[in-house]
Amino acid sequence: MPLREIKINAATMIYRVVIEPGSISGVGKALRLLFPSTKTLLVSDLNVDRIYGQEVVKSLEAEKWQVTTVVVRPGERAKSLKKAAHLYDSAIAAGLDRNSPVIALGGGVIGDLAGFIAATYLRGVPLVMVPTSLLAQVDSSVGGKVAVNHPRGKNLIGSIYPPRLVLIDPKVLTTLPFRQIKAGLAEVIKYGIIADGAFFAWLEKNIDRLLATNIEALTDAVTLSVMNKARVVEADEYEVDYRRVLNFGHTIGHALEAATDYSHYLHGEAVMVGMAVATRIAHKLDIIGSEDAARILNLLQRIDLKDAPADLTAEAVIDKLRQDKKRRNGEIFFVLPQSVGSASVIAVSDQKLIREAVKTGMRLEGL
């Protein structure tokens, strides 16, 4: 399969996203071409390091890189200031200088954590993303958002700090747990709904191949997702306005995650439910027609999502919505689809409508 390359125009530089099955063994060479340094900090988690760590270190050492590896426990808790401090210690002990790249080898957690270190260590060193989860390949590795969490909330401390290179090997998705593949597909489908009707039609045709973890289909889906994300980020890198469409499904998604103590849903699963609820709201408000709304709900239902916990009430979700920062004067801001392929941010004040949409959409029932 040929190498695919997407160039992204960030405010501070142009960077490349390279999508190539098998490229994980070429990390060393790709970095050698870019950076005049000998030292690098490789950040990963235990799951990813166990499968791919050795291969990546070998490719780096073959190109004469001196590698310092930090491996953290998998999971969201690694995105902390405490873990960041540990990474700074490692970078200082290894003598990393301004030209020494930080490599994020892992899912979105590792990308956000290593990206935060790269953005702040020595006021910024080069960042290379080697994303290994579907969510990281189609979303978090592109666009420059890096962050750690605060006990009071997710991603409260961070920056927009674009990587110098994103190296995507879709083959690594063969070892990703199936539940993570399905959750990542939420973000893939999101691009089809908010920005690319032709991609959505392709997804309708190819959803079974994607669910079967067919690498050719996944490579196409990753490529088209990155192209869509690139278009949005290039138009509004600092999220002044348009980039907010990427939050489709997230208003309800975040409320669901919070209402279930971040322990029931994976992020993508909650976003998928959120997209169904937002589509219901848009349909009730006559913002989207019945045919397009039904197409969206049908595709989402094909993913066969984890159901909401039996004891989770719509009230509990609404309660979390009320605390959301996207709320103003009793209105809640939603990204609502207008058709398959376009969406915009709309304030909704009809509380009864929201409650009804949450009640039905939360169980992924039809229109």
Interface ranges with ligand NAD (CB under 6 A): 45, 47-48, 51, 74-76, 79, 106-110, 112, 132-133, 135-136, 139-140, 143, 145, 154-155, 172, 175-176, 180, 267
**Which is catalytic among the residues 83, 145, 182, 190?**
145
**Which is catalytic among the residues 190, 250, 283, 295?**
250
267 closest CA partner among 281, 255, 282 = 255
Q: Measured between alpha carbons, how far is 110 from 104 in angstroms, rounded to an integer?
A: 6
Active site residue 254: yes
Distance of closest approach, residue 25 Cβ to ligand NAD, in angstroms: 14
136 binds, among ligand GLY, ligand NAD, none (CB under 5 to 8 A by kind): ligand NAD
CA atoms within 13 A on the CB side of 277: 32
Asked whether position 243 contacts ligand GLY by CB under 6 A, the answer is yes
Q: Measured between alpha carbons, how far is 195 from 341 in angstroms, rounded to an integer?
A: 4
Which is closer to ligand NAD, CB of 48 or CB of 259? 48
Active site residue 86: no
Distance of closest approach, residue 242 Cβ to ligand NAD, in angstroms: 15
Distance of closest approach, residue 184 Cβ to ligand NAD, in angstroms: 7
201 closest CA partner among 278, 343, 299 = 299
Which is closer to ligand NAD, CB of 249 or CB of 354? 249
Residues 244-273 binding ligand GLY (CB under 6 A) are 246
Active site residue 123: yes
**Which is catalytic among the residues 164, 182, 243, 295?**
243
Active site residue 247: yes
Which is closer to ligand NAD, CB of 10 or CB of 201? 10
115 and 103 in contact (C-beta within 8 Å)? no
**Which is catalytic among the residues 64, 82, 123, 328?**
123
Q: Measured between alpha carbons, how far is 330 from 348 in angstroms, rounded to an integer?
A: 9
Residue corresponding to tokens 């490579």: 219
Active site residue 76: no
Query: What's the gap between Cα 139 and its chain centre?
Result: 4
CA end-to-end span of the chain, whole Å?
40
Which is closer to ligand GLY, CB of 69 or CB of 247? 247
Burial label for 238, CB within 10 Å (0-12, 13-18, 19+), is exposed
Helix (H, G, I), strand (E, B) or coil at 65: coil
Distance of closest approach, residue 22 Cβ to ligand NAD, in angstroms: 14
176 binds, among ligand GLY, ligand NAD, none (CB under 5 to 8 A by kind): ligand NAD
Residues 103-162 binding ligand GLY (CB under 6 A) are 139, 143, 145
**Which is catalytic among the residues 164, 182, 187, 269?**
187
Which is closer to ligand NAD, CB of 175 or CB of 323? 175
Active site residue 356: no
For the record, the structure tokens of 16 come out as: 């490349």
Active site residue 267: yes
Active site residue 214: no
Sequence-separated (6 or more) residues with CB below 8 Å from residue 178: 213
Strands 14-19 and 342-348 turn out to be unpaired
Helix (H, G, I), strand (E, B) or coil at 367: coil
DSSP string, 323-353: T-TTEETTEEEEEEEEETTEEEEEEE--HHH
Catalytically annotated residues? 123, 145, 187, 229, 239, 243, 247, 250, 254, 267
In the complex, which residues of this chain contact ligand GLY (CB under 6 A)?
139, 143, 145, 243, 246
